[in-house]
Structure 1
Amino acid sequence: MDIATRATTLLELHHTGTTLVLPNVWDAWSARAVADAGFAALSIGSHPLADSRGQGDNEDMTLDDALDGVRRICSAVPDVPVTADMEAGYGADPAELVERLLEAGAVGLNIEDTVHSEGGRLRSVAEHAEYIGGLRQASDAAGVDLVVNARTDAFIKKDLFEDPVAEAITRLLACEEAGARCTYPVGAPDAESLQRLLDALSGPVNVIANPRKGSAAGSLEDLQSMGVHRVTFGPLLQKELAPDLAALVAPWK
């Protein structure tokens, strides 16, 4: 399956009328294991990828580091569409990021509005939307349906805003208008907040969940009934596996 076909497949999976679950993987082994479990597409989380490399999240990796991991994972599952968390872009301009990401084999990406390499500042609404628009323009120019997932940290930085839900809506509407194919209000605290977001946004919305415990808005069934389009696990799949691994090996010490 060529990269354009994988990209179109990933985009279509966001519009099937059912909730798309994209488990977050971090290396070739975890990618093959999740693909073998029957998932049609995968996500790469920056946090678990960085952990697998002995590096930190929040752009402690360089763009070269991140793309090395992306390339290894995509090569391990060549017929499975993969989207990758690229944090705030690792300082790359949108055209460079799209070109290099596609070369590495990924057909989607998350981009957040917190720029950790610049002291953790939050991009303005217009600045974030402009970056998202640049990514969409570059992917259109390449003839690939790259799934740009625009993330906002309005809930994580909630103390900055009187109404974090309203701020998230403002930011994500601007990103949708700029060409985002999915939006990601990470940390939406409850079902009521999530429903406000779903009602206000026109495109697919991504929700983070814990594979053992569900999401802040409920179980997978709850999210499906609300009309959530996409679920990812962030670093939580890797985190939940650690106690199981420790328990498995502990009797042998």
Structure 2
Amino acid sequence: MDFRSTVERAQRLKELHAGHRPLVLPTVWDAWSARTAVAAGFPALTVGSHPLADSRGAEDHEGQTFEEVLAAIRPIVAAVDVPVSVDLESGYGRTPADLVAGLVEAGGVGLNVEDTVHGEGGRLRGTEEHAAYVAGLRAAADDAGVPVWVNGRTDLFLRAEKPADVLDEAVERLLALERAGADSVYPVGIQDDDELLTAVIGAVGVPVNSTAHPVRHDLERFRRLGVGRISYGPLLQFALADSMKAMIAPWAP
């Protein structure tokens, strides 16, 4: 993909976030799933690390190298004419500049980055440490001349025995990401908790991303709560696996 097309797709992704509340980005993992989602009417997509890894026989949590991820997303981007964002986990040990350069070269125009550092035993980045990484991504995208959409994720709720107990710390992390230049923030693990979602949405000034199950969750509920962006994580792939098993089980010996 040429540079001008990449810039245009990045600008389109930004416009879509402004025009939709919430913007639903189906989480895809290959050219087939990407084409299927676009045929269903979606104007933008995201590639999830978990379903991508599963589709390639690899492990999530950076079980693939950055080069392998880029090789996998190129045909996805080429298969559709809509913007594609990519879950880049915690960055594969790469500098922000390297991460943005690789993403843009592959045609990706958005990214998700989390604070669990898989290459270092799964430790959680500190608040300012993660914010600094996101600031580096923002600066690298600006230097590249591509308005890459940066979705800053925290796994703090996911790690807590009682998610409500870490609300204040999580909000502090998300506000730090917003100040660092994140276009949206992603507090993973609270998609079923109206109170926590409402508290987070009320505390930050950028769209809040929530995970959703395409069958078990209700879009209108997320809209009513004020969620700005929705992705499926691995849940779309899980739902399709359940459907596939139900369809073919009667044919098994």
Q: What TM-score, normalized by structure 2, do the two folds share? A: 0.95
Q: Distance in 2 between matches of 1:178 and 1:233?
A: 25
Structure 2 unaligned residues grouped into runs of 5+: none
Q: Secondary structure at the match of 1:151?
A: strand
The answer to whether the Cα contact below 8 Å between 1:15 and 1:229 also exists between their aligned partners in 2 is: no
For residue 223 of structure 2, what is the aligned residue in structure 1?
A: 224
Classify 1:91/1:159 alpha carbon distance in 2 versus 1 (closer, same or farther; 3 Å).
same
The answer to whether the Cα contact below 8 Å between 1:155 and 1:185 also exists between their aligned partners in 2 is: yes
For residue 237 of structure 1, what is the aligned residue in structure 2?
A: 236
For 1:131-142, list aligned pairs within 5 A: 131-142=133-144
CA RMSD of aligned residues (A): 1.4
Structure 1 unaligned residues grouped into runs of 5+: none
Q: Distance in 2 between matches of 1:252 and 1:152?
A: 43
Q: What TM-score, normalized by structure 1, do the two folds share? A: 0.95
| Residue 251 of structure 1: how far off its partner (Å) | 3.4
| Residue 17 of structure 1: how far off its partner (Å) | 4.8
For residue 126 of structure 2, what is the aligned residue in structure 1?
A: 124
Which of 168, 171, 175 is the matching residue for 1:169?
171
Structure 1 residue ranges (4+ consecutive) displaced by more than 6 angstroms after TM superposition: none
Q: Distance in 1 between matches of 2:250 and 2:156?
A: 44
Alpha-carbon deviations, 1:115-173, whole Å to 9, x = none?
Answer: 01110000000110000000000001111110000000011111498832111111010
For 1:142-153, list aligned pairs within 5 A: 142-153=144-155
For residue 207 of structure 1, what is the aligned residue in structure 2?
A: 210
For residue 251 of structure 2, what is the aligned residue in structure 1?
A: 252
Amino acid at match of 2:149: V
For residue 84 of structure 2, what is the aligned residue in structure 1?
A: 82
Q: Would you say how many aligned residue pairs link Structure 1 and Structure 2?
A: 248
Alpha-carbon deviations, 1:190-238, whole Å to 9, x = none?
Answer: 0000111011000011000111111xxxx21011112211000000000
Classify 1:140/1:37 alpha carbon distance in 2 versus 1 (closer, same or farther; 3 Å).
same
Q: Does 1:60 align with 2:63?
A: yes
Which of 10, 19, 28 is the matching residue for 2:22?
19
